[in-house]
Structure 1
């Protein structure tokens, strides 16, 4: 009995010894963040899941509505009709803007793409905790998939936009091909912003409640319903305000789409260096947002 009492308790192995033991047997930390190249490879390996998930979400979005997928086109068109009545008719924004209805509808459709991508990105992690905690996959797949869903919805809306352009006598031209690089750049920008907001929304879910107000303010500053070039030609604006309005990424992508599709929207209405601006915003948001999201990969779904 005394020998049992006199036996010293077993000492706990130092953390360094435990780490060496785990490494020797090929054990790794559960949920540890992979290296950036490995993370990119994991996303690429799951590209089919990402696109299938986006398509499934898009199909289910209006599954309970009687008009079904028609609402993908009707929703931005109804928004455009409301904006036309308030801004075009009551406030007179259409004065001095040729082809105002195509001008407005293009702005609404392109803005909706950015707005919806950021909104769904904000809830990409916090709104899918069950999926995040149940399955092991690169978490960036969720915000990227939601952005692809919004891109698919925009492509449906673009069919209605083409009909509107033709009904107002706007001719089909080679400049319409510029829609492709403009949409690619906007998608990269939107995906980067969605990744940023996904990380912020995962840590602070209350951000999702603030986003409608922030996005509404951003929309009013982006020339969706009015012409930025017409406003900036006046002398009453400080130069810094003019630069900020013209460099606004949402306005840049909207103006590029208008320039591509509307014959009366001339190159002189574009901000200076518009294509470098579009590329710069896409790279800054896309690369920066991806790295920012990846750095917190092991934290998503915990706590």
Structure 2
């Protein structure tokens, strides 16, 4: 055994003479060598992710549990944080600016919008830091890097499900009855999760090369929130206003506004079909496919670069 371990590497004289002058690529192919950390094919990459599905879910759950582990109220902050945000927005927009006059069931309307937009907002922010904030893990272990942004989005979905429990209580307290339409929440959440994940994958790739983007994103997301009808009704604002057609289309087809409208339509009895943009389900599916598939491919194309440099 010691002779095997201590044996010197073969010298040039001992090497196969046929290898002399071969290009490195041909030499590697001859001996079955591959580039370390090379990007796998897209189908192989998807299979690798599926094989690590348990890691993705466990990582998301662990991050969610540790998020408020140092706070005395612990996991209660998962519900209290979005509720406090909604209370602030209600005071500023509902009371001071009196936007509630145009909206029936304003409190359920507002809380639904805050919870749904927060899901997208936090998924994007977490995705932006998914690679740059986990360099130790990325450099130490070999795994498909898309596992990280996906797990962060799954963490935010779990957070939203906690918030939805509080939302249902609020709906009942304000006299909104449960209806079969509440079942529409499930497809709406699936579509929004797909959209959020695709967007998080795009931002994860950008954030891995340009960490400063994480400092800019809160301002971008805040602007996006104000344009998404979280605190006010887009339908009520557009009525009677002579705005350019392109502005109306952009406001109605805004993906965040689309998913918020779908959730309001599913949960709030007074939010009627005529308040929805035309073909809202088609827009929701289109945004989910475009962001989900496009974001995944965009992230996969830079797989071998993450954690380097």
For the superposition of Structure 1 and Structure 2, which TM-score range results when normalised by the shorter chain?
Answer: over 0.9
8 A contact 2:102–2:233 mirrored in 1: no
Question: 2:8 matched to which residue of 1?
Answer: none
Whether 1:196 aligns to 2:207 is: no
Q: Which of residues 18, 24, 32 in structure 2 aligns to 1:26?
A: 32
Aligned length: 291
**Is 1:234 paired with 2:244?**
no
Gaps of 5+ in 2: 1-18
Aligned to 2:158: 152
Which residue of structure 2 lines up, in the alignment, with residue 7 of structure 1? Answer: none
2:202 is the alignment partner of 1:220 = no
- Name the structure 2 match of 1:276: 282
Distance (Å, rounded) in 2 between the aligned partners of 1:20 and 1:46: 33
Q: Which runs of 5+ in 1 are unaligned?
A: 1-11
User: What residue is the counterpart of 1:301 in the other structure?
Assistant: 307
C-alpha displacement at 1:238, in angstroms? 1.4
Superposed CA offset, 1:99-144 (max 9, x none): 0000000000000000000000000000000000000000000000
Shift of 1:13: 5.7
| Deviation of 1:23 (Å) | 1.4
| Offset from partner CA, 1:144-192 (integer Å, 9 cap, x none) | 0000000000000000000000001111100000000000000000000
Report what 2:52 is aligned to: 46
C-alpha deviation, 1:18, in angstroms:
2.2
**227-236 or 188-197, larger mean C-alpha shift:** 227-236
C-alpha distance in structure 1 between counterparts of 2:96 and 2:210, whole Å: 39
Contact kept? 2:119, 2:157, Cα under 8 Å: yes
Candidates 108, 111, 114, aligned match of 2:117: 111
Corresponding residue for 1:92? 98
The answer as to whether partners of 2:86 and 2:110 remain within 8 angstroms in 1 is: yes
In 2, the alpha carbon distance for the partners of 1:234 and 1:146 equals 42
Question: Is 1:292 equivalent to 2:295 in the alignment?
Answer: no
Q: Partner residue of 2:130?
A: 124
Residue equivalent to 1:257:
263
Cα separation, 2, equivalents of 1:189 and 1:41: 21
In the alignment, structure 1 residue 246 sits paired with structure 2 residue 252: yes
Shift >3 Å, 4+ stretches: none
Could you say what the CA RMSD is over the residues aligned between the two structures, in angstroms?
1.0
Q: How many angstroms apart in 2 are the aligned matches of 1:185 and 1:24?
A: 47
CA distance in 1, matches of 2:85, 2:20: 65
Distance in 1 separating the partners of 2:243 and 2:256: 20
SS of residue in 1 equivalent to 2:172: helix
**1:101: which partner in 2?**
107
Instruction: Name the TM-score, length of structure 1 as normaliser.
Output: 0.95
Deviation at 1:17, TM superposition (A): 2.6
Query: CA offsets per residue over residues 74-109 of structure 1, 9 Å max, x none?
Result: 000000000000000001110120000000000000
Once the two structures are overlaid, the 10-residue window that deviates more, 233-242 or 50-59, is: 233-242
